[in-house]
Amino acid sequence: MAEKPDPKAWQSEAVWYQIFPERFRNGDPSNDPTRESLGGRQWAPPSWRPRAWTSDWYARDAWEQARGDNFYWHGVGERRYGGDIQGIIDKLDYLKDLGINAVYLNPVFWSGSHHKYDASSFQHIDPWFGPDPDGDLAMMEGETEDPATWKWTSADKLFLEMIKQAHARGIRVIIDGVFNHAGLGHFAFVDLREKQQDSRYRDWFAVESWDDPATPGNEFSWAGWHGIKDLPEFAEVWIDGHGDLVPPVKNYLMAITRRWMAPDGDVTRGVDGWRLDVAWMVPEGFWRDWNALVHSINPAAITVTEIWKDAHKVTLGGHFDSTMNYEGFAMPVKGWLFDTALTPSAFAAWLDRTRGTWPEATARKLQNLLDSHDTPRAASAAMDGRPGKNYVKPEEFDLAVAASVLPRHNPDYRWQKPDERAWKLLRMAGLLQMTYVGAPFIYYGSEVGMWGANDPDCRKPMVWDDLDYDPEFMGPDGRRVGPNAVKFDGNLHAFFRAAIALRRNTPVLASGDMRWVAKDDAANTLAFLRTDGAARALVVFNRSELPQTVRMALPDGWPDAALPAAFVSDGGAAVARRMDGELLVELAPLTGAVFLP
């Protein structure tokens, strides 16, 4: 009897692309955010308006200048550029042509912020992501936590249309689930704040004290994520020997999970999985039941934790499929390729240590990222890299602390447009993503030459080839320092397109075993072999600033004739030659190459 196909096989074959919806593409200018859409942010002056998509990032509009003279504290957080669901639909063909077959969307649910990690509702797509914000707001009035009261707004329907069109192109879609907290505008918290202990939602949030109506002050207080009151945390409870979210919140989150995974009961119209924000801050008991629900609705669905340190306990204990591989990929890659704090042998040891702690099937699904909305852009990390700057000991690992990632914290931060050396390093890192064990993960715009420090500078509007962008003349301190030309880098885009094609057309890179075959700390070179039966791929890197000859033991069955590289990161040529029982590869500086014997 033939074996049944594995519904999760796609997860190790995925090439991921992260989309920050507000900054990806403005497909429908008629729905651009209004001041009212900011969710009660009273500090936005009446002169507030959406920001021009192609404007100089560090330059400031008049309304921002009116708030103060600090770029980071006075305005940038309240910028809106008008990215929306229609913009994603319009660029699905771009993603397909790039070779992407899976996308992860930062939060799309209704929220007043640009990042939308402070949801006002989990049952609705943000009205300003859809075609009729005012109509959607009117339609949502009177809804409660009861799914029977929920309607399908125009934004909801457009989001489902986006999923349909993505699926038609062979692209799966997962969305961000923020189940630790909500926003001040969440319908349950609004009711709780108004009615206090008389609210039907009195048990939903971690209330620290109630208001005493007999006093002139307001004593109402609640726990916020990391102490941030704008992000009220859901209440937890101890049930059957393990932690969980309180039943009414759990029931609500289970209901919205069904809604988006199987709209009106049709799983083919729903999302293909979830990325779970701050997963370690939600009780394991909830995750076990929630993951069981997700996988019962769609056995092919993927669930991914966001955990920056050791992700094993929550990921495996909560029955997740994967994690964003910060600890096992992003940080060591920066430590070796970007700032040389790690030698090749130390880098290989770090990867072995972290990969070896996962079940083999899980290791092949780990999302191998270089950057995200919470880190500096990879090209900027490469530009700013200096020995030891981005590295800490593995046991002290914290991506946010490990790099000096913002000009406001580090006046020496090199925030300017990366130089050619940094782009070479980015190409090496991109090739490593496509050839190492795990699923490659690209943050929007990395493939076209975007740069920037940590949040908010890593959240610039996407650079498209049909738009003309103002050069970056201004620096973060307000001084005129440019110009730094901002434009779609066609050569870099072609590199990523070809590297993704290499990954997708070479099955051994997704399914093969992996072993190191060269680690030369003195020459700063490294090589590994991917194998699956007779299929093989040899991947060789020269991190040195000088040309190097990489030597390794001759793999069994290697062809006698000199073999040209199938792919070289800098676009040049490389050849593997047999000599005296060894295999030799000559590589230019800051170059990686792949050989397919």
Q: How do residues 125-177 score in pLDDT, each as one tens digit?
A: 999 999 999 999 999 999 999 999 999 999 999 999 999 999 999 999 999 99
Instruction: Classify burial at 3, counting beta carbons within 10 Å of its beta carbon; exposed 0-12, middle 13-18, buried 19 or more.
Output: exposed
Q: Which residues contact 555 (CB under 8 A, 6 or more apart)?
A: 517, 529, 536, 538, 583, 597
The DSSP 8-state label assigned to residue 233 in this structure reads B
The pLDDT value recorded for residue 340 is 80
Asked if 31 and 129 touch (Cβ cutoff 8 Å), the reply is yes
Instruction: Classify burial at 593, counting beta carbons within 10 Å of its beta carbon; exposed 0-12, middle 13-18, buried 19 or more.
Output: buried
**Composition of the chain by helix, strand, coil, percent to 5:** 35, 20, 45
The DSSP 8-state label assigned to residue 418 in this structure reads P
**Tokens standing for 504?**
């997708």
State residue 43 phi and psi, 5-degree precision. Answer: -75, -10
Model confidence pLDDT, tens digit, residues 467-486: 999 999 988 887 888 799 99
Is residue 340 in some structural domain?
no
The pLDDT value recorded for residue 356 is 92
Give CB contacts under 8 A, 24+ apart, made by 467-473.
Answer: 467/53, 467/54, 468/54, 469/54, 470/54, 470/55, 470/56, 470/59, 471/56, 472/56, 472/57, 472/58, 472/417, 473/56, 473/59
The pLDDT value recorded for residue 5 is 79
The pLDDT value recorded for residue 477 is 81
Is residue 497 in some structural domain?
no
Place of tokens 């509007």: 461
Specify the DSSP element, H or E, that contains 221: strand 221-222
Catalytic residues: 277, 306
Furthest-apart CA atoms within the chain: distance in Å: 91
Rounded to whole angstroms, the Cα distance separating 95 from 389 reads 34
Rounded to whole angstroms, the Cα distance separating 326 from 375 reads 10
Which residue numbers in the chain have pLDDT < 50? 388, 391-392, 394, 397-404
Strands 567-568 and 563-564, by their bridges, are unpaired
Asked if 400 and 454 touch (Cβ cutoff 8 Å), the reply is yes
Asked if 477 and 500 touch (Cβ cutoff 8 Å), the reply is no
**Tokens standing for 554?**
């001759």
Instruction: Classify burial at 229, counting beta carbons within 10 Å of its beta carbon; exposed 0-12, middle 13-18, buried 19 or more.
Output: exposed
Phi-psi region of 362 (alpha: psi -120 to 50; beta: other; left: phi over 0): alpha
Rounded to whole angstroms, the Cα distance separating 80 from 213 reads 39
Which domain-ending residue is among 198, 233, 268? 233
Count of structural domains, the chain: 2
The pLDDT value recorded for residue 108 is 98
Residue of 504, 499, 470 lying closest to 487 (CA atoms)? 470
The DSSP 8-state label assigned to residue 322 in this structure reads E
Which domain-ending residue is among 202, 233, 264? 233
Within the chain, how many helices (H) and strands (E) appear?
17, 23
Is residue 150 in some structural domain?
no
Specify the DSSP element, H or E, that contains 291: helix 284-297
**Domain ranges, residue 211:** 187-233
The DSSP 8-state label assigned to residue 593 in this structure reads E
Is residue 521 in some structural domain?
yes
CATH number for the domain harbouring residue 550:
2.60.40.1180
Rounded to whole angstroms, the Cα distance separating 509 from 523 reads 26
Supply the mean pLDDT for the chain: 93
Is residue 580 in some structural domain?
yes
CATH number for the domain harbouring residue 228:
3.90.400
Asked if 587 and 565 touch (Cβ cutoff 8 Å), the reply is no
Rounded to whole angstroms, the Cα distance separating 277 from 155 reads 23
Is residue 250 in some structural domain?
no
The pLDDT value recorded for residue 84 is 98
Q: Angle CA(174)–CA(334)–CA(419) in degrees, nearest 5? A: 100
* Secondary structure of residue 380 in the 3-state scheme: helix
Q: Angle CA(275)–CA(280)–CA(284) in degrees, nearest 5? A: 95
Place of tokens 């809804």: 143
Is residue 519 in some structural domain?
yes
The pLDDT value recorded for residue 402 is 45
State residue 105 phi and psi, 5-degree precision. Answer: -105, 125
**Tokens standing for 411?**
């006046």
The pLDDT value recorded for residue 397 is 47
**Tokens standing for 166?**
């993505």
Q: Which residues contact 338 (CB under 8 A, 6 or more apart)?
A: 381, 382, 385, 390, 425, 429
Which domain-ending residue is among 175, 210, 233? 233
Number of residues that make up the chain: 597
Is residue 575 in some structural domain?
yes
Phi-psi region of 75 (alpha: psi -120 to 50; beta: other; left: phi over 0): left
Q: How many CB atoms lie within 10 A of CB 110?
A: 28
